[in-house]
Chains A and B, each alone.
Chain A
Amino acid sequence: MLEPLMDYLIGGLYYILGNDTVWGPWIRGICGLIAMGIILVFAMFAVWLERKYAGDIQSRIGPNRVGGSHGELQLIADAIKLFTKEDLKPDKVDTPLWAGAPILMFGSALLMLVAIPFGAFVFYGRDYPLAVTQFDVSILYLEAVSAIGIVGIFMAGWGSNNKFSVIAAFRNMARMIGYEVPLGLTIVSVAIMAHSLNIVDIVSAQSHIWYVIVAPLGFVIFMVSLIADLGRIPFDQNEAEEELIAGWATEYSGMRFGLGYFAEYIHMVLGACITVILFFGGWNLPGILVNLHPIFGLLPFAWFVFKVVLVLMFIIMVRWALPRIRIDQVTTLGWKVLLPLALLNLAWTSVIGVIW
């Protein structure tokens, strides 16, 4: 009784979303706006998690005043502070570059959002991914639009007309050029194993075994490159506050700074999502979450979010547990260690891809 009804409903919805009808793009656009709202809330959660977790690691309490003893509403207070601050524009900045940079960084983070499936509904053995849009080369798309963020940081650094900002942008580019290559190679290795560049296919290819078990080396390279890509300690040479004041963010105040700051956290959340999708089987739990009654249809979504939070906590832990390394050490690690290892991993996964 229930099965044909659900089939009819969901099938109809997917027909509208997947086809070029007049309403399809509008509905997808609304879904995209909803996803934007959700990811902003999730990014705020990530900021709160980071502050509490950092407090735990450093044996202090962390935010504990606003909204209960755990400081749950601290981020609302911070956001109000950012919104109401004076919007200072330094005298000799290159205005279009300086003003456009946070927009570009935020836009790059939001562009990544549309291709990521945040879990799936599972009804009678069929997966219905919760993605705003799906296309054949979605993992390539994610890589491509995340690279736009580099241009944003460059514009911030150059447009600020400030030597600290320029040094920060320069370091950022040197690091990004070095780490995009191993990151891309590990993504290619996963695509080889899954025989597809589509994220949904990559997830369903892991329904028997996760790729972190098949290619642990690739996972390590991916994780290091991802943390470098996010520009977090030990790779935050572009913000090194002891040397460069605040890096590219030196001349920004109020919500302009807030946009860049939030873009970094959205990038972190989405990076954790990509890690889970590529190496931890997305919403799959091999052998268990395959043939569910529709009542438990949202269980894979919860499982996905749980894994994303675990990966987020790992990234945060790395930030507060390790010291910052020097910029020449960063580039050396990228080009002389990670790139050869990534090529080795590519060879290994090619063999796996041929065998399977």
Chain B
Amino acid sequence: MTFGENFEMLVFAVLAIVLLFTAIMMIASKEIVHSALYLLASFAAVAVIYILTRAAFLGIVQIFVYIGAIGVLILFAVMLTTREVGG
């Protein structure tokens, strides 16, 4: 393996760990805003994995649609809910 391939594997490993961590934390976190933000972070990790596999257009559309549109819509909906005091 060349230096580039090794580096790619390293980046992929880091991204995979980040993706799994954020996906699990999305389910595990108590506060709904944190869940929504972890979801956005996992979207971002997926986008970077797309870019890593030479699918730059797909990765950018992933950021555009999932973070820019769906994620913002989820956050917008979350803001309409009431927050429990001390929750």
Residues of A within 8 A of B (CB): 20, 22, 94, 97, 135-137, 140-141, 143-145, 147-148, 150-151, 154-155, 158, 166, 169-170, 173-174, 176-177, 180
Contact = CB atoms under 8 A, between A and B. Distances in A.
A95 to B, nearest CB: 12
B63 to A, nearest CB: 4
A247 B34 CA distance: 21
B79 A147 contact: no
Contact of A151 (B56, B57, B75, B79): B75
B39 to A, nearest CB: 11
Contacts of B76: 170, 173-174, 177
Q: Which 3 residue pairs are nearest across A and B when measured between Cβ atoms?
A: A147-B68, A144-B64, A144-B63
A170 B77 CA distance: 10
A34 B71 CA distance: 32
Contact of A154 (B60, B61, B75): B75
A172 B4 CA distance: 42
Interface in B1-59: 3-4, 33-34, 37, 40, 56-57
B63 A145 contact: yes
Question: What is the interface of chain A mostly: helix, strand, loop, or mixed?
Answer: helix
Contacts of B72: 147, 150-151, 154, 173, 176-177
Given A143-B64, A177-B76, A151 B71 contact: yes
11 contacts: A97-B37, A137-B60, A140-B61, A141-B60, A144-B68, A151-B40, A151-B72, A154-B72, A166-B79, A173-B76, A177-B73
Contacts of A174: 76
Given A22-B3, A158-B33, A170 B60 contact: no
A144 B71 CA distance: 12
A22 B79 CA distance: 47
Contacts of A97: 33-34, 37
A169 B79 contact: yes
A143 B79 CA distance: 24
Nearest to B79: A170
A148 B37 contact: no
A226 to B, nearest CB: 16
B79 A148 contact: no
Q: Which one of A140, A143, A154 has the greatest number of beta carbons of chain B within 10 Å?
A: A154
B64 A158 contact: no
Contacts of A148: 63, 67-68
A145 to B, nearest CB: 7
Contact of A147 (B3, B57, B61, B64): B64
A173 B79 contact: yes
A97 B31 CA distance: 12
A144 B3 CA distance: 30
